[in-house]
């Protein structure tokens, strides 16, 4: 089987670009038994111009209707959608929980997976960091990606001041306690000679991890591998050409698909073994592949709809409502997606399109 992949909302190291608050990476598994010629003929009858670009089509009612028709066509041909959806602000906040409130490196945090002893969940803790000013969140993300200890310490001190000033004094003390262990926490280490880090000599980490897509790509690989394993299939991946990250993505792919029982550690957290069901990763120009353009339709439509969760001033016409209902209906296949969106934004989307719940659609 083949999986065709694209992304939407990539802003490099500018994590909190207000025009692109979400990052979507994903696409479609193409059925083995489909008639390629028939599909391509139907595709060309629907598309506008030489290449489908969702970023252009979402701007007009006619374009949104075209996106809807293309997604409906994907369903008719039994394409399988698999994707990762990330709210950048929430993703960074969750990373702060993982690194600053890790019980191994903060002895004020109980050694409990859900932090029940603190009467607060990991999600609630992430939402505490979510409240931080934009400049602190963005600076932390940049310094974290570069393993800049002095920059990270500066950000933590600014967090402490913010929480203390805003009457979260107990939480401020817990965050402050992370500074005691900062130099022993491998998540913040910049030691590229560490042989325990399987990525250190195989990937240009500094270039790659300055972007949220590198972390998300690993998650996508895991979801695809799980699908292939459960359905006794092998899958090859074709990603839209990404000159900035091609080498790093390919290196990561080769490392994490190394063997059937291969287990790795990434960002100091154990990850499940890859079952070696993914055969290869190739890159192709979108203009040359109808299937990559279909992936762009999926991720671009998602990114468009997600923005209604953060901007209440956006208007909703009939074409937007219809596209939203179709895109959100894809959440029924929840096993094969990664939804890293705050409940606040999820609720806003449901209310905007008058749906009971995004995840229940």
Give the model confidence (pLDDT) of 181-240 as tens digits. Answer: 999 988 787 654 443 443 333 344 444 444 557 678 888 998 999 999 999 999 999 999
Q: Which of 137, 156, 188 is the last residue of a domain?
A: 188
Of the chain, the percentage scoring pLDDT greater than 70 comes to 82
Q: Would you give the end-to-end CA distance of the chain in angstroms? A: 28
Query: What contacts 72, CB < 8 A, 6 or more positions away?
Result: 326
Rounded to an integer, the average pLDDT of 21-48 is: 93
**Per-residue model confidence as pLDDT tens digits over 137-154:** 999 988 887 788 999 999
Q: Where are the alpha helices (DSSP H) in the chain?
A: 36-46, 54-57, 61-76, 88-100, 122-130, 134-145, 149-165, 169-177, 205-208, 212-230, 246-256, 290-306, 318-329, 343-352
Does some domain include residue 117? Answer: yes
Burial 86-103 (b: 16+ CB within 10 A, else e): bbbbbbbbbbbbebbbbe
* The total number of structural domains that make up the chain: 2
Domain match, 313 and 175 both: no
Domain match, 241 and 348 both: yes
Q: Which of 153, 188, 223 is the last residue of a domain?
A: 188
Least confident of 51-65, 94-108, 161-175, 294-308: 94-108
Domain match, 125 and 254 both: no
Least confident of 39-43, 74-78, 352-356: 352-356
Rounded to an integer, the average pLDDT of 126-139 is: 94
- For residue 281, what are the domain limits? 2-88+209-360
Query: What is the C-alpha separation between 248 and 60, in angstroms, rounded?
Result: 36
Does some domain include residue 203? Answer: no
Q: Please tell me the predicted confidence (pLDDT) of residue 212.
A: 58
Does some domain include residue 196? Answer: no
Q: Please tell me the predicted confidence (pLDDT) of residue 114.
A: 44
Band (pLDDT 50/70/90 cuts) for residue 276 is confident
Decide if pLDDT at 328 tops 60: yes
Domain match, 235 and 93 both: no
Domain match, 82 and 94 both: no
């Amino acid at each position: 089987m083949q999986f065709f992949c694209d992304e939407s909302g990539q802003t490099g190291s500018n994590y909190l670009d207000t025009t692109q608050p979400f990052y979507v990476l994903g696409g479609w598994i193409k059925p083995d038994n489909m008639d390629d010629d028939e599909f391509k003929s139907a595709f060309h009858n629907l598309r506008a111009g030489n290449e489908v670009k969702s970023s252009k089509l979402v701007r007009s009612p006619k374009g949104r209707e075209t996106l809807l028709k293309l997604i409906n066509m994907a369903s008719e041909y039994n394409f399988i959608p698999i994707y990762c959806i990330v709210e950048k602000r929430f993703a960074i906040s969750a990373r702060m929980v993982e690194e600053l409130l890790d019980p191994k490196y903060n002895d004020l945090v109980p050694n409990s997976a859900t932090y029940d002893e603190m009467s607060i969940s990991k999600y609630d803790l992430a939402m505490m960091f979510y409240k931080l000013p934009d400049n602190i969140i963005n600076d932390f993300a940049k310094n974290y990606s570069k393993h800049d200890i002095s920059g990270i310490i500066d950000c933590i001190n600014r967090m402490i001041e913010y929480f203390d000033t805003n009457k979260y004094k107990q939480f401020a003390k817990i965050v402050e306690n992370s500074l005691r262990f900062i130099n022993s926490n491998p998540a913040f280490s910049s030691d590229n000679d560490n042989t325990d880090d399987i990525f250190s000599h195989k990937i240009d980490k500094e270039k790659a991890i300055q972007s949220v897509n590198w972390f998300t790509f690993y998650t996508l690989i895991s979801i695809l591998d799980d699908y292939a394993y459960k359905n006794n299939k092998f899958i090859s991946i074709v990603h839209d050409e990404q000159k900035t990250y091609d080498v790093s993505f390919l290196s990561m792919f080769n490392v994490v698909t190394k063997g059937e029982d291969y287990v790795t550690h990434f960002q100091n957290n154990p990850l499940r073994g890859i079952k070696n069901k993914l055969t290869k990763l190739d890159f192709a120009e979108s203009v040359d592949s109808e299937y990559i353009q279909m992936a762009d339709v999926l991720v671009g439509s998602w990114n468009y709809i997600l923005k209604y969760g953060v901007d209440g001033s956006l208007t909703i016409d009939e074409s937007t409502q219809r596209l939203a209902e179709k895109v959100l209906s894809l959440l029924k296949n929840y096993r094969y997606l990664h939804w890293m969106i705050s409940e606040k934004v999820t609720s806003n989307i449901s209310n905007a399109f008058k749906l009971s719940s995004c995840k229940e659609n």
